[in-house]
Amino acid sequence: MTINPQGQSNKYHSLISQRVGQLLPSGIRRFFDLLASMEGVISLGVGEPNFNTPWHIRETAIYSIEQGYTVYTSNVGMLELRELLSCYLKDTYKLAYKPNSELLITVGVSEALDLAMRATINPGDEVIMPDPCYVSYSACVILAGGIPIMVTTSEEENFEISAVDIEAKITNKTKAILMGYPANPTGTVMPANKLKEIAEVARRYNLLLISDEIYAKLVYGATHTCMATLPEIRHSTILLGGFSKTYAMTGWRIGYAAASEEIISAMTKIHQYTIMSAPTMGQVAAIEALKSSDNSVTEMVEEYNQRRLMMVEGLNTIGLPCFEPKGAFYAFPSIKATAMTSEEFAERLLLEEKVAVIPGNAFGKSGESYIRCCYATSLAELEEALARMERFVAKYIKI
Ligand SMILES: Cc1ncc(COP(=O)(O)O)c(C=O)c1O
């Protein structure tokens, strides 16, 4: 709010829109800023693979630049990439999406999420989502003029969201359910029967389902069920996927949305006015990733699995009980034994032992008393991080 020359406040003169004013600064950002000013820190903070993008993908992209692939692509993305994605979704899930009308290539899942919200949400619409969840979900809903409605999940229930709890939050303003499994920050993979119950609720109340499946390929001894395969909601689901995590391609900025022609054309309207087209070199790299990266992905998943086992066992041993994550690359241990808040714990751990983790409350109220540790870093660094955390916990453990 600003004050006019007469000394009266006038909310219409605020430089910043009310929607943006509602957003809290990301809890994650604050830690990155602190971290950037320190040396010798082991970061379990950023949710990013420590692998380089496989060489054959990088090489193909370099060659594409040499060949002059330096211009815009079609608004919806390169046809070859859409065709390959269509085949991928058919081979993996037996889902048929038409490359010409039901797929849109975006600037990461980040853009796809924003588009999905802005294309479907009217002011005041409510969007139900799990708590804790990925930090952008509620922000994208607010920016689209909607209202995020959080459904508490708990460690006792493996941080799974329940159809009963979702149904209890439905009002005549509910427009959509937004969720992402395998989950950031908990690593939860939802069992198929529970997803089916949620699909049934969505169908009964005629709700849109936005499913962020960016970690679909990163599962360990569990089966990921794609929401769009559930026949109840196939046509009311917006499926979001991307290349950042599976292929270690965070910087290339490529994601996609798969949905009905009506929804994809609405999302494309916003995309063409605000983005034009996703990065061309990134799209060329994504084509190569889809064509020939199965072995690289298998190797990375095996490596993540080793780290996951070590991390979870290590955390439990040092006194931070950790539920077993079956997907993504995050461990979400409880810090209740230290009686600190998540922010206090994360800040002191960083300052005293130079280990960066993300306070669980950055992902929602139900994340309080937990921390998120990303194990997409080398085994040697994880070992050292655990040794430092052990020293820290031993100092502060209360019970
Ligand atoms: C659950 C989830 N969705 C989406 C994203 C954004 O991914 P992208 O790099 O494709 O924009 C992330 C990144 O951390 C994520 O964890």
Quick: pLDDT tens for 345-369: 999 999 999 999 999 999 999 999 9
Which mutation among 245, 249, 254, 329 tests ligand 1's pocket best, with the greatest number of atoms within 8 A of CB? Answer: 245
Radius of gyration, CA atoms only, the chain: 21
Angle at alpha carbon of residue 181, lines to 305 and 261, rounded to 5°:
130
Indicate if ligand 1 lies below 6 Å from the C-beta of 106: no
Question: What's residue 1's pLDDT?
Answer: 46
Q: What is the mean pLDDT of residues 42-66?
A: 93
State the distance from the centre of ligand 1 to the C-alpha of 398, rounded, in angstroms: 36
Which mutation among 46, 53, 110 tests ligand 1's pocket best, with the greatest number of atoms within 8 A of CB? Answer: 110
pLDDT bracket for residue 265 (50, 70, 90): very high
pLDDT bracket for residue 25 (50, 70, 90): confident
Question: What's residue 2's pLDDT?
Answer: 46
- Check pLDDT > 80 for residue 4: no
Indicate if ligand 1 lies below 6 Å from the C-beta of 213: no
Q: Which atom of ligand 1 is nearest to the CA of 243?
A: 10
Q: What is the DSSP string of 336-392?
A: GGGT--HHHHHHHHHHHH-EE-EEGGGG-GGGTTBEEEE--S-HHHHHHHHHHHHHH
pLDDT tens sequence across 117-169: 999 999 999 999 999 999 999 999 999 999 999 999 999 999 999 999 999 99
Backbone angles phi, psi at 43, to 5 degrees: -100, 120
The SS3 of residue 81 is: helix
Poorest-confidence range of 20-29, 49-58, 386-395? 20-29
Indicate if ligand 1 lies below 6 Å from the C-beta of 242: yes
Indicate if ligand 1 lies below 6 Å from the C-beta of 184: yes
CB 176 within 8 A of CB 194: no
pLDDT tens sequence across 285-343: 999 999 987 788 999 999 999 999 999 999 999 999 999 999 999 999 999 999 999 99
State the distance from the centre of ligand 1 to the C-alpha of 109, rounded, in angstroms: 6
Angle at alpha carbon of residue 95, lines to 92 and 98, rounded to 5°:
120
Please, what is the average pLDDT of the chain?
94
Q: Which atom of ligand 1 is nearest to the CA of 253?
A: 9
Indicate if ligand 1 lies below 6 Å from the C-beta of 319: no
Q: Which atom of ligand 1 is nearest to the CA of 250?
A: 9
In the chain, the percentage of residues whose pLDDT exceeds 90 is 86
Indicate if ligand 1 lies below 6 Å from the C-beta of 241: no
Indicate if ligand 1 lies below 6 Å from the C-beta of 244: yes
pLDDT bracket for residue 7 (50, 70, 90): low
- Check pLDDT > 70 for residue 27: no
Residue of minimum CA distance from atom 4 in ligand 1: 109
